[in-house]
Amino acid sequence: MSQSTLSAQHAHDQEHEHQSHSVFGFWAYLMTDCVLFASLFATFAMFAMQTAGGPTGKDLFNLTDVAYETGLLLMSSLTFGLAMISALRKKKGGVLAWLFVTFLLGAGFLWLEMYEFAHLIAEGAGPQRSAFWSAFFTLVGTHGLHVSIGMIWLVVLAVQIMRSPQMSERDMRRLACLSLFWHFLDIVWICVFSFVYLGSVV
């Protein structure tokens, strides 16, 4: 076997090892995020009845708007899935188009969330009103912050893909990691919708 072949094989093995470490590291990060959100859900459960005589979630939550938020986020997971399908088919234009749609859906979700926060604060139910509202804003706000980070990541990734002549293995790995992150946020939001909103209203 020639020296050049050995060098190429060695470089390939190093790249494969680097990819394995990157994916493992990202899974480790997601596990820490699971712990974070589990702690926030537990805190909300502890303070679910601590309204200090103020308004409750049943008084102020608008499930129609929350349903729209949920629909937008679920739809964004679908469009991200379509971006992944385009990536597997090496269709860079399709990837960028679906990432753009995903970004718009995420922006719509955040806009509705900011609108809800503004409405609650205007009604005197800000995070300082009671332990219940403090726990609510912390949990939902932390999720919204993660969505914002995901959208920034999405823009950065789209720019990197645009600059690549074609979909590379590195682009695919980055796209797969962001996909995991985005779907994870979807699962967390379903828990928020069920446990925080429905649980407070029913």
* Tens-digit pLDDT profile for residues 61-79: 999 999 999 999 999 999 9
Average pLDDT, the chain: 88
Residue 22 in this model has a pLDDT that exceeds 70: no
Residue 121: exposure state from Cβ atoms within 10 A (0-12, 13-18, ≥19): middle
Architecture of domain 33-201 in this structure: Up-down Bundle (1.20)
pLDDT band with cut points at 50, 70 and 90 for residue 48: confident
Residue identified by tokens 């926030």 is 40
